């Protein structure tokens, strides 16, 4: 895989750039960039005599080398242009994917959540746009990456606050205020992409994306409740998470069609929903204590009747 991406980088730096784009158009739905490299190799063999002499020998050496050896001549031409970028020879595929997707996010406002945005992101890393073919799920991968990134950012923010509270630097918040702040912080991360977010939401609803998006959602909600102080080990664990999931999803839906300045309506809606849930919990507690009092009253009445009837004496 590492040799593959070096190939792609080499290709983009040389005269084969036009060949890459030509072949990319032909194989627009290529599943793996391996196929792209194979095609490049074929085209290179056919066009060997046409390439300028000072490139051909290096390409020959590059393609024929079975073990990935750093070609110093090549390194100077391609790496010299990348000022400040690190050596990527031994990067894992996951790290590279992460980098490409992060770079792709800045093109989302222009290209939407699509493979084009990923291709543009790959280009900023001096990779061929065909590198977008490495993502089987296309736009879904980009969105899930974004969601995962936001969730981990929120988790960092919450754990930082939690540490400060434990050190006594700031006061702990009441539960409803904490939930409101956490959900608002997380939803504010969507603001730069809010115009295209309905498209992202609909892509996340596709059947093959649903399991992973649900997993991210449940991790997010669990994190928020954990830092809000929930340590329950009974059915409350489930009811609380279900309630917060409902709050988060409905607030997200309100946010995408909110046009008020700085989304004031959305935060008001969030406040109302959180208050609703708190009221329900208080009402449930009141019902329980009323129930207890009623049962006590009935028991007392039963005992009185038994006493009156003389049935309570031990003979």
Nearer Cβ to other proteins, position 8 or 221? Answer: 221
Whether 194 and 281 have beta carbons less than 8 Å apart is answered as no
Q: Which stretch binds other proteins (CB under 8 A): 97-105, 113-121, 209-217, 223-231?
A: 223-231
Query: How many residues touch other proteins (CB under 8 A)?
Result: 32
Rg (CA), the chain: 30
Interface positions, 64-93, toward other proteins (CB under 8 A): none
Nearer Cβ to other proteins, position 49 or 234? Answer: 234
- Residue 1 CA: distances (Å) to CA of 31, 52, 118, 160: 14, 28, 19, 38
Dig out the tokens for 194 from the structure.
Answer: 């809010």
In terms of Cβ atoms closer than 10 Å to its own Cβ (0-12, 13-18, 19+), residue 288 is exposed
**Least CB distance to other proteins at residue 288 (A):** 4
The H-or-E segment that residue 43 falls in is helix 33-46
Residue 56 backbone zone (phi > 0: left; psi -120 to 50: alpha; other: beta): alpha
The residue to which tokens 């039963």 are assigned: 302
Which of 9, 145, 240, 273 lies at the binding interface for other proteins (CB under 8 A)?
A: 240
Per CB under 8 A, does 38 bind other proteins?
no
Distance of CA 184 to the CA centre of its chain: 17
Mask: binding to other proteins, 173-192, rule CB under 8 A, as x and -? --x-----------------
- What DSSP letter does each residue of 102-158 carry, written as one string? HHHGGGHHHH-SSHHHHHHHHHHTT--GGGGGG-TTTHHHHHHHHHHHHHHHHHHHH
Per CB under 8 A, does 229 bind other proteins?
yes
Per CB under 8 A, does 308 bind other proteins?
no
Mask: binding to other proteins, 131-170, rule CB under 8 A, as x and -? ----------------------------------xx----
Nearer Cβ to other proteins, position 3 or 165? Answer: 165
**Least CB distance to other proteins at residue 229 (A):** 3
Which of 230, 252, 265, 271 lies at the binding interface for other proteins (CB under 8 A)?
A: 230
Q: Which residues here bind other proteins, judged by CB under 8 A?
A: 165-166, 172, 175, 222, 226, 229-238, 240, 281, 284-285, 287-288, 291-292, 295-296, 299-300, 302-303, 306, 312
């Amino acid at each position: 895989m590492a040799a593959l991406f070096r190939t792609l980088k080499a290709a983009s730096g040389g005269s084969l750039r036009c060949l890459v784009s030509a072949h990319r158009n032909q194989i627009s739905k290529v599943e793996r960039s391996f196929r792209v490299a194979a095609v490049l190799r074929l085209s290179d063999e056919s066009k060997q005599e046409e390439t300028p002499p000072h490139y051909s020998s290096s390409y020959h050496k590059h393609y024929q080398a079975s073990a990935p050896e750093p070609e110093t001549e090549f390194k100077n031409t391609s790496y010299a242009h990348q000022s400040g970028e690190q050596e990527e020879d031994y990067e894992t595929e996951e790290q590279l994917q992460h980098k490409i997707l992060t770079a792709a996010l800045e093109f989302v406002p222009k290209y939407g959540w699509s493979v084009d945005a990923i291709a543009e992101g790959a280009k900023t890393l001096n990779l061929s746009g065909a590198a977008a073919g490495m993502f089987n799920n296309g736009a879904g991968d980009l969105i899930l990456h974004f969601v995962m990134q936001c969730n981990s950012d929120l988790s960092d923010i919450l754990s930082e606050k939690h540490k400060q509270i434990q050190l006594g630097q700031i006061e702990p918040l009441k539960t409803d205020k904490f939930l409101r702040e956490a959900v608002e912080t997380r939803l504010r991360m969507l603001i730069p992409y809010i115009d295209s977010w309905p498209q992202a939401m609909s892509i996340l609803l596709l059947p093959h994306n649903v399991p992973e998006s649900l997993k991210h959602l449940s991790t997010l909600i669990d994190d928020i409740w954990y830092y809000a102080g929930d340590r329950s080990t009974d059915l409350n664990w489930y009811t609380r998470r279900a309630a917060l999931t409902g709050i988060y999803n409905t607030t997200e839906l309100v946010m995408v069609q909110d046009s008020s300045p700085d989304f004031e309506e959305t935060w008001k809606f969030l406040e109302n929903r959180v208050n609703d849930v708190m009221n329900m919990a208080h009402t449930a507690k009141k019902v329980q204590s009323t129930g207890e009092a009623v049962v006590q009253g009935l028991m007392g009445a039963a005992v009185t009747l038994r006493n009156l009837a003389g049935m309570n004496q031990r003979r």
